[in-house]
A and B are shown apart, each in its own frame.
Chain A
Amino acid sequence: MNRPPFRSAYAAAFLAYLADEDERTLCAAYELGREAVMTGLGVMDIAEAHHDALHAGLRAAVDVDATTRAGRDFLLESLSAFEMVQPGASEARDAAEADRGRAAMVRRLSSFFADASLALDDGHATHEILRLLAEQARELVGGACCVATVSADDASPQARAASYAEADAAWGARLALGDLSSLERRMPRSAPVIRMDAPGPERGGALALAGAAAPVRSWLGARLTALDGRPIGFVHVFHHRPRAFGATDEAVLTHLAQMASAAVERTALYA
């Protein structure tokens, strides 16, 4: 797709540059390159437009060397916008690759949950599900620490599993054993997931959390719910870095929480 108006605008701009080689006329090449990117034209369209423009310039040229040198500078300028977006395309490819990897891992996790929920020992099965959930959630959303809990009701003892990196052992252990009820109370009943970042340094710079030896600056939490909507547990992912989680992480954690909820319910059925 090489729209004739673009080619004629390119040729006119190049001839203007030949007539008066300065930053103003060269800037037109940068603007044309930017316009090409924004309207979906490609490098080959620029090449075609440039060939026509250079051909027109050379036909009228007194100094062929000077004209070809100017052609080089004008072409470089018009291609610079593509230099900005081509690495972007490769980043997008990497992101798509990472998404595919996450999807494959979620599929594998689904069968792990199914296996765990069929274990004969109810308590052992629940703990195994929580352990899988904590490990995989931390890895998939890139958290520093993950804690997963289940309790049949408020009066029942809570089953709990945690996952954290060795480098964060002291901090992670405190979170693993700490009282997370203040965070869990912040999660609205209607929302399956909550994401919260620490306030700015002027307000302490960390989420208020009892038992944390190091500040928690990002928290992503999802509720585990029974089929009848009754809350049966939580999965928390923490990070000491602010704004560590995004909308994709919310979606991934929600999905994991739903799978784990179903697996926990199955353990009760088969126990």
Chain B
Amino acid sequence: MSDEVRVAINGDADLVPARAEGRALAERQGFSRTDATLIATAISEVARNIVVHVGRGEILLRPLDEVSRCGLQVIAHDEGPGIRDVEAALGQGTTTGRGLGLGLPGARRLMDDFEVASSSGRGTTVTMVKWRVRDELELMRERRRRA
């Protein structure tokens, strides 16, 4: 998909371009400033998780468009050792926030959909989506544009 954006994560400094790309895409998708900030924060948390636990990985940002809503999908992938107990990691905030609820659990709270696929030796993929419901005016404009 041409609107997809890939950001390589190799260190702390890569949080900045990942956030910038996420924020820019969020604004293109019509998210409010507040939601764009929350998306940027969630991206920072999953990127930080890659840096802290694996060292390198990638973040893929993808716009989603449906009839009544649009969204932004974030896929964070690494080729690390994997998370042994995903439920525990999500439940207790054991990742990068010293159990305070930051890290993966924090990112999950900021987004609408959140899924972690991880298996031993095959790395970890975090997929999360923030949705925005299109209002009537927007839908009407869309219909007119297509007509």
| Interface residues of A, Cβ cutoff 8 Å to B | 22-24, 26-27, 30, 34, 37-38, 72-73, 76-77, 80-81, 83-85, 87-89, 243
Classify the secondary structure of B's interface with A: helix
Q: Is B15 an interface residue (CB 8 A)?
A: yes
Nearest neighbor of A87 in chain B, beta-carbon distance: B109
Pairwise interchain contact A27-B101, C-beta atoms closer than 8 A: no
- Interface stretch, picked from B38-46, B68-76, B124-132, B136-144, is B38-46
Number of interface residues of B (CB under 8 A): 27
Q: Which of A76, A84, A85, A88 has most B Cβ within 10 Å?
A: A84
A73-B33 contact given A23-B17, A34-B102, CB 8 Å threshold: yes
Measured CB to CB, the nearest residue on chain B to A247 is B88
Contact A23-B23, Cβ < 8 Å, known A76-B37, A84-B106? yes
Contact status B107-A84, CB under 8 Å: yes
Comparing B49-57, B58-66, B92-100, the segment that makes contact with chain A is B92-100
Task: State in angstroms the CA–CA spacing of A146 and B44 once bound together.
Answer: 44
Contacts known (A38-B100, A88-B100, A243-B87); A83 close to B41, Cβ less than 8 A: yes
Give chain B residues whose Cβ lies under 8 Å from the Cβ of A76.
Answer: 33-34, 37
**Which residues of chain B are within 8 angstroms of A84 by Cβ–Cβ distance?**
41, 45, 101-102, 105-107, 109-110
Tally of A-B residue pairs with Cβ under 8 A?
70
Q: Which residue of B lies closest to A88 (CB)?
A: B101
CB pairs A–B below 8 angstroms (25 shown)? A22-B20, A23-B17, A26-B19, A30-B44, A37-B100, A37-B102, A38-B97, A38-B98, A73-B37, A76-B33, A77-B37, A77-B41, A80-B37, A80-B40, A81-B41, A83-B41, A83-B109, A84-B102, A84-B105, A84-B109, A84-B110, A85-B97, A85-B102, A88-B101, A88-B105
User: A73 CA to B19 CA in the complex, in Å?
Assistant: 14
Is there an interface contact between B106 and A85, defined as CB atoms closer than 8 Å? yes
- Tell me if B102 and A23 are in contact (CB < 8 A): no
Contacts of B15 in A (CB 8 A): 27
